[in-house]
Amino acid sequence: MHYLLFYELAEDYLARRGKFRNQHLQLAWQAVDRGEMLLGGALANPTDLAIVLFKGDSPGVAENFAKTDPYVANGILKHWYVREWTTVAGEACAMPVRPSAQL
């Protein structure tokens, strides 16, 4: 299954993240190395939201990441939440659904 971790960024996120960024990136790349995190990054123009894509058996993999993330611990986010994403198309989708022969 795929899970999306959403980070709603504080207004001063860009100004404050530098102090915690290396720790955050270290945590992220460790999750990548374990095969849990597939992609992650902030949306731009405006930079108000970040999204991280996880692969796992439960939303716990994304929730555990957020609970240990220095961005969360140091309050540079307004809010975070996890949503299950039912992926049905693409090479890495979790539940492939092909079109029927008749279209």
Residue-wise pLDDT for 10-65, tens only, equals: 999 999 999 999 999 999 999 999 999 999 999 999 999 999 999 999 999 999 99
52 within some domain: yes
94 within some domain: no
Residue-wise pLDDT for 71-100, tens only, equals: 999 999 999 999 999 999 999 999 999 998
CATH number of the domain that residue 71 is part of: 3.30.70.1060
For 58, the domain range is 2-85
| 102: confidence class by pLDDT, cuts 50, 70, 90 | low
99 within some domain: no
19 within some domain: yes
93 within some domain: no
End-to-end CA distance of the chain: 28
97 within some domain: no
74 within some domain: yes
- How many structural domains comprise the chain? 1
Spatial distance between the Cα atoms of 36 and 30, rounded to a whole number of angstroms: 9
